[in-house]
Amino acid sequence: MAKPLRDLHDVELAALSAAGGRREFGELVRRHSPAVRGLLRRMGAQPALADDVAQDAFLLAFEKCAEFRGEGTFGAWIKRIAARLYLKRRSKDARYVAEIENDEVAPHVDSAGRMDLDEAMKGLTEPERLCVSLCHGAGLSHPEIAAAINLPLGTVKSHVKRGLDKLRARLQPEPVAHGSASHVG
């Protein structure tokens, strides 16, 4: 008897998808779409655009499923596809940059004064946000990011470092009077 889809490993599901299995691919979409959608939003995409790009990324992944050999995780593979698709779309249409720049909303903090990652990311400049999310979200190396967004390697490193410094500062809870210890995550 065939194993239920939820019991199959990503590599098995990808192999079955490569043979045309849409139900199997649907399971992969179910497992990984939140991470992909989240990554694209963290990169600065508006929700509608992020979902559009995420759907295109999954369609492309379905076409290329045979190329996924399981060297890395399926999640990392699909996130890379999505990140590159978003960068392509972004470079085609400069208005997305304008949308990102206008994306200033009041940050949401919890009762302990902590901000969640998505809120904290909004405090980064657009290049910092892109570089940090590509590095830590999509798993691209600094040289890969430099090539993808056409920036010098040193500049990418600076953006990542500055972005992370800002994130650390924002993700730390505000100092409180009684000095209680706290930690992120």
Main-chain phi, psi angles of 119, to 5 degrees: -70, -40
Token look-up 């045979």 returns 66
The answer to whether residue 34 forms part of the interface with another protein (CB under 8 A) is yes
Pattern 100-119, another protein, x by CB under 8 A: -----------------xx-
Binds another protein by CB under 8 A, chosen from 168, 169, 176, 182: 168
Residue 16 · residue 24 · CB < 8 Å:
yes
**Total of chain residues touching another protein, rule CB under 8 A:** 37
CA distances from 173 to 58, 99, 109, 115, 170 (A): 37, 29, 9, 8, 8
Verify binding: residue 35, another protein, rule CB under 8 A.
yes
Contact 10, 100 (CB under 8 A): no
The contact set with another protein (CB under 8 A) reads 19-20, 22, 25-26, 29-30, 33-35, 37-38, 41-42, 51, 54-55, 58-59, 62, 117-118, 133, 135-137, 141-142, 160-161, 164, 167-168, 171, 183-185
